[in-house]
Amino acid sequence: EAGVAQSPRYKIIEKRQSVAFWCNPISGHATLYWYQQILGQGPKLLIQFQNNGVVDDSQLPKDRFSAERLKGVDSTLKIQPAKLEDSAVYLCASSFLAGGPNEQFFGPGTRLTVL
């Protein structure tokens, strides 16, 4: 079974530039998550989708971050404009269902450096 795919793996941009990350979840997984992980910290949930609807985006900085999940499969996360404090690893995860103790499967992450 193919895992969660993310691209790019690394990205370096200047502050105030825009950047987009892509995620392809495991086939058949209805729930998709985007996390931000700052160095030395645990992941922080940015947004959770159930199919193509948003379940939780309470910690998404909506003035600069946006995310969409077209047709309930692939997802993109965008930052516009980027700030220095956005330097982090952005992790995508998917699970079969939402709710309950469902195992989340994580991709390798995209490491973003904002200069």
- In DSSP terms, which residues pair with 101 in a beta bridge? none
User: Smaller CB distance to other proteins: residue 17 or 56?
Assistant: 56
User: Smaller CB distance to other proteins: residue 17 or 106?
Assistant: 106
Distance of closest approach, residue 47 Cβ to other proteins, in angstroms: 11
Binding site for other proteins (CB under 8 A): 4, 40-45, 48, 55-56, 91, 93, 98-109
User: Smaller CB distance to other proteins: residue 28 or 100?
Assistant: 100
CA dist 39 to 7, 85, 90, 94, Å?
19, 11, 11, 22
Q: Which residues contact 38 (CB under 8 A, 6 or more apart)?
A: 44, 87, 88
